[in-house]
Amino acid sequence: MNKKKIFNDPVYGFINIKSELVFDIIEHPVFQRLRRIKQLGLTDLVYPGALHTRFHHAVGAMHLMSQALESLKSKGVEITDEESEAVQIAILLHDMGHGPFSHALEYSLLHGIQHESISFLFMKYLNEQFDNQLSLAIKIFQNTYHKKFLHQLVSSQLDMDRLDYLKRDSFFTGVSEGAIGLERIISMLNVVNDNIVVEEKGIYSIENFLNARRLMYWQVYLHKASVSAEKMLINLIIRAKDLAMSGHDVFATPALKHFLTHQYTLDDFQQNDDLLIMFGQLDDYDIWGAIKVWQHHEDKILSQLSKFLLNRKLFKIKLTNEPLSKEELKSLRNKIAESYNVLRTDSRYFFAHGEVTNKAYIAGGQTINILTKKGKVIDIAEAADLPNIKAMSKIVKKYYLCCPKNVSL
């Protein structure tokens, strides 16, 4: 069977799959599941075109990786065919651990287990399935391989993951501010002392990349309506889980029911491949299918929140520079309890508060390094004529409060 396939990607055009192993991994059911998980969760409630999936993103990031490798090889950087295949597999599988709606349910369906940890367990599982052919990819993913620059291409402040999701999310949302000069950035990459650097000629493309990232966070990833919808979904899943854990009958697919009625730790996943495979059956459709049934549930909180989400009756959201006081929260809980005729302790399902942060670039630590024409390597934040990058490296924090529109703040 011919495994040298071609994907027609709306962002990059034709993407060639040059490795039979890569093709077999893409064909595996746990990877195919990514077709059923949207990249941007509920963002299509704001930008109707944002219907692209984790599958699109993973294949796109792998394509950019192959381009970056060719660019580096053309400059004399030593990368073997084995390393080339492994680093493409590492980026292909970097998001395998995402559950339904990506980040939204990371802390409600699985309490305190990060998607990166599940991605690593899926890699180990696939490694067993493919006779240890993914061992090098796992080393690169974990940053235990001696060529550190390969890991930086997978995970850093200028990795193929970020380059693809900015370009792709900008394309599908129609937010043109996220557009970046991918080809120029990739062609300007080099390696010095085992670290990825950007040649000085590419400095303005990097400035544009950081600025695009900052704008995409405010306009897309932290858009007020997206944040509101995500918090509503989290509250809804927490309510369903609270009911299921206390013995109430809550409709769900077998896989979803399993995670609604149990509280698992990372240790449980590490010791039980069956649990991992069960998680690998979950996708956005499990959640939407359940929500359509829950709107008719006898529990009025579960029913009401389900109807709100299905009909896009989103909570209003207020962003402030200061956190809410205890008195304001107490007053809000009383108003919600009265409006929805629920116990004051149950009012927590009808509002959410917390903080959002926008950090386009973190100076210090994992940096984006510029290789000057004189051969010196410096952090981009120190590059003389880019004062706005220093400004961008400041973390902007805002506090949010979401609650139903009929409750006065």
Q: What angle do CA 234, 236, 241 make, to 5 degrees?
A: 95
pLDDT above 70: residue 384: no
Q: How confident is the model at residue 295 (pLDDT cuts 50, 70, 90)?
A: very high
For 234-270, write each residue's pLDDT tens digit: 999 999 999 999 999 999 999 999 999 999 999 999 9
How many other C-beta atoms lie within 10 A of the C-beta of residue 331?
14
Q: What is the pLDDT of residue 108?
A: 84
Mean pLDDT of the 149-177 span: 96
Please choose, from the candidates 16, 42, 409, 386, the residue with its C-alpha nearest in 3D space to the C-alpha of residue 225.
42
pLDDT in tens, 305-361: 999 999 999 999 999 999 989 999 999 999 999 999 999 999 999 999 999 888 777
Q: What is the pLDDT of residue 364?
A: 55
Three-state SS annotation for 183-242: HHHHHCEEEECCEEEEEHHHHHHHHHHHHHHHHHHHHHHCCHHHHHHHHHHHHHHHHHHH
Sorted by where each starts, the structural domains of the chain and their CATH numbers stand as 6-93+134-222 (1.10.3210.10), 316-409 (3.30.70)
pLDDT for 1 equals 66
Phi/psi region, residue 41 (left: phi>0; alpha: psi -120 to 50; beta: rest), is: left
Q: Please report the pLDDT score of residue 231 as a whole number.
A: 95
The maximal CA–CA distance of the chain, rounded, in angstroms, is: 71
178-205 confidence digits (pLDDT tens): 889 999 999 999 999 999 999 999 998 9
How far is Cα of residue 261 from the mean position of the Cα atoms in its chain?
Answer: 25
> Model confidence at 114, in pLDDT bands (50, 70, 90)?
confident
**47 close to 57: Cβ distance less than 8 angstroms:** no
Residue 206 has pLDDT above 70, yes or no: yes
Q: How far is CA 82 from CA 5, 91, 191, in A?
A: 19, 15, 19
Q: Which two tokens stand for residue 312?
A: 């896009």
Per residue in 49-100, pLDDT (tens digit) is 999 999 999 999 999 999 999 999 999 999 999 999 999 999 999 989 999 9
**Tell me, what's the pLDDT at 277?**
95
User: What confidence score (pLDDT) does residue 150 get?
Assistant: 98
